[in-house]
Structure 1
């Protein structure tokens, strides 16, 4: 029997706009998946509003799933919405002979069973991929603030960089993937996952 840790929503797929996060995800055995489903929608898209309106519209166009369309049309993603698509994913994988345990709020799961786990996930995770990726984005940065700006502010707060370290410095370091701190450090991982400190009660 094989077992694998999956993260259905690719951590760096337009969620945080930082190449570092892909290489520095808290789980070492992460399976990153595209946030978009396999087919595109050609019909009418709701007129979304708010900081993430463009991303909601893009996600809506990325799939023909009625389930996803119904969730996105509200302009928000609730815990109940996430639980619904998670349950569908678990059921679909069970039908293919895999046992799934949802372990996190953004598509993280452990999958066990004999056979090709990736093939099973490919067939079952479209709805969950779209919802979990957008849920992560909107929860992590509700006002859609500039990604590099909030990352640098967090790095300053964690004292990982000197006060003189700027957004331009961070952008340059992203290009070279060479940073003046350890990308394996708990503080950096905390910044990539929650740069605004929202989950820690600010």
Structure 2
């Protein structure tokens, strides 16, 4: 271990926008115009067709475009992306903890301090494919059928038993501005269930 201060980060899951503010640190934004390859753009199908189309257009490397063009993110492709990200950070003297299932990760500080760390992490996230391949992998892991965050949260909360039968996505959206607005006021069991569903809505309480 390097012994320098560590920073908490998370890939910016803007499509789901679950648990905003639960993970402190820096979100890696998706930027860049995406130059595209010289060949024809692939046609995507399935529940995430629009997202694959979007991130194919944002891709800046042949590696990203080749992976995204397949219409899936294989374990091997994700592992290669993670290795590229880790190697890029290592080249800048930054230690990387590895991605967690929810897209969160930790790094050590860059030699130049916190601001330099943010800039270099963002740079590596773009060049390695973390901002495209990584984000696609994470949003599909959390919501395989692309039903949307409110529906997934409602289903998860139903499984925990802290909401009544018939609880819907609309109920959850309303409760985000009411019951769940201040998590500190929730009973301990409700607080635990809400956080568990926020971190893993498709798998928590199964």
Answer yes or no: is the 8 Å Cα contact 1:101–1:109 preserved in 2. yes
Q: Structure 1 runs of 4+ off > 4 angstroms? A: none
Taking the aligned partners of 1:191 and 1:77, their CA distance within structure 2 comes to 24
Taking the aligned partners of 2:181 and 2:140, their CA distance within structure 1 comes to 29
Among 14, 39, 45, the residue aligned to 2:33: 39
Taking the aligned partners of 1:33 and 1:146, their CA distance within structure 2 comes to 21
Taking the aligned partners of 1:82 and 1:98, their CA distance within structure 2 comes to 20
Taking the aligned partners of 2:158 and 2:102, their CA distance within structure 1 comes to 26
User: Unaligned regions of 5+ residues in structure 1, if any?
Assistant: none
**Mapping 1:85-124, distance limit 5 Å:** 85-105=81-101, 107-113=103-109, 114-115=111-112, 116-124=116-124
State the number of aligned residues.
Answer: 190
User: Unaligned regions of 5+ residues in structure 2, if any?
Assistant: none
> Secondary structure of the residue that 1:32 maps to in structure 2?
strand
> Secondary structure of the residue that 1:125 maps to in structure 2?
helix
Answer yes or no: is the 8 Å Cα contact 1:107–1:129 preserved in 2. no
Taking the aligned partners of 2:89 and 2:181, their CA distance within structure 1 comes to 42
Assess, with a 3 A threshold, how the Cα gap between structure 1 residues 103 and 140 changes in structure 2: closer, same or farther. closer
Assess, with a 3 A threshold, how the Cα gap between structure 1 residues 51 and 166 changes in structure 2: closer, same or farther. closer
> Secondary structure of the residue that 1:45 maps to in structure 2?
coil
Greater relative contact order structure (CA < 8 Å, 6+ sep) = 1
Per-residue deviation, 1:108:
2.9
Which deviates more from structure 2 when the two are superposed, residues 144-153 or residues 111-120? 144-153
Which deviates more from structure 2 when the two are superposed, residues 126-135 or residues 102-111? 102-111
Per-residue deviation, 1:72:
0.6
> Secondary structure of the residue that 1:118 maps to in structure 2?
helix
Aligned to 2:160: 158
Q: TM-score, normalised by structure 1?
A: 0.81
Assess, with a 3 A threshold, how the Cα gap between structure 1 residues 177 and 92 changes in structure 2: closer, same or farther. farther
Point out the structure with max Rg over C-alpha.
2
Assess, with a 3 A threshold, how the Cα gap between structure 1 residues 103 and 147 changes in structure 2: closer, same or farther. closer
RMSD between superposed Cα atoms in Å: 2.5
Per-residue deviation, 1:73:
0.9
Among 79, 83, 86, the residue aligned to 1:83: 79
> Secondary structure of the residue that 2:183 maps to in structure 1?
coil
